[in-house]
Amino acid sequence: MAGISKTVISLKPGSMEEVTKLIDSTSSSVLALDGVIGFAVAVTGEDEITVIGVYQSSQNMHDANESIREIMAGLVPFAAGPPDRGLFSGVWFSS
């Protein structure tokens, strides 16, 4: 079964543009992790993003967790509070 992570991050007002640039600059590091199928970033509020990561397996997701935390640490200066992160088993469909 696939591993699917969901992280909701509330941002400090006015930081969306800088956060977008940071995500763009770190995307290749995330995609290079073992077992990563892909990820998406959705703007889910005026000052909120939701990041969905998809992994080949739940084990790959758990193995990558520390690396993801290190990569996402760059977002700390822009966050209005701690992220709400969940790790789940699931099924991913794509064409």
Domain with 19, as residue range(s), is: 2-90
pLDDT reported for residue 16:
97
Number of domains in the chain: 1
Q: Has residue 61 been placed in a domain?
A: yes
Q: Has residue 95 been placed in a domain?
A: no
Assess contact for 12 and 80: CB atoms under 8 A.
yes
Binned average pLDDT, 10 residues per bin, the chain of 95 residues: 97 97 96 96 97 97 95 95 96 91
pTM exceeding 0.75: yes
pLDDT reported for residue 54:
98
pLDDT reported for residue 85:
95
Kindly report the CATH number assigned to the domain that includes residue 6: 3.30.70.100
pLDDT reported for residue 63:
97
pLDDT reported for residue 25:
96
